A = this chain, B = another copy of it.
Amino acid sequence: MTISLSPIGTVKNSRKVVEDDHWGEIISTVELNSSFSEESLFGLEEFSHAEIIFYFHLVNDEKIVSGARHSRNNKNWPKVGIFAQRGKNRPNQLGASIAKIIKREGTRLFVQGLDAVDGTPVLDIKPVLREFLPREEVQQPQWATELMKDYW
């Protein structure tokens, strides 16, 4: 089974090179393709956050991991499955991140803290609802907390 998707838009920002950390201050616009009108984004500005689903388009096929590996190749952290980490070299190359909504202008959505480089194809935008966040306390291993130290 193959699923064919078409990007709905593109990320534009100042981050031209793929780097691991320091995404917090980056302002991005998600620009919808010409097949969409501003109606598609109506009302999104009433939410404080949006989840952006995007495609890690710069990933080299040969680097995709389907088993286990050390995150960021850091041997101090345990070798865990690709689905126990959020890195880009993953099957289907999908990214999903919550960003803060700044404003909407026509078919452009301005957000802060989206961890995707300039030119990234966007597959979906969803509003963040409180009820869709974890309804129990979130627990995670120590290595994951360490990895995120300088992320934002």
Contact = CB atoms under 8 A, between A and B. Distances in A.
Max chain B Cβ within 10 angstroms of own Cβ: one of A5, A90, A135: A5
A29 to B, nearest CB: 14
Assembly stoichiometry (copies): 2
Q: How large is the interface on A (under 10, 10 to 19, 20 to 34, 35 or more residues)?
A: 35 or more
Given A37-B67, A84-B44, A140-B46, A96 B51 contact: yes
Given A124-B92, A127-B144, A133 B98 contact: yes
Contacts of A140: 46-48, 127-130
Interface of A: 1-8, 24, 35-37, 39-44, 46-51, 53, 55, 66-68, 78-86, 90-92, 94, 96-98, 100, 109, 113, 121, 123-141, 144-145, 148, 151-152
14 contacts: A3-B55, A4-B4, A40-B81, A44-B81, A46-B139, A49-B136, A83-B127, A94-B124, A98-B134, A127-B140, A127-B144, A128-B140, A130-B145, A131-B152
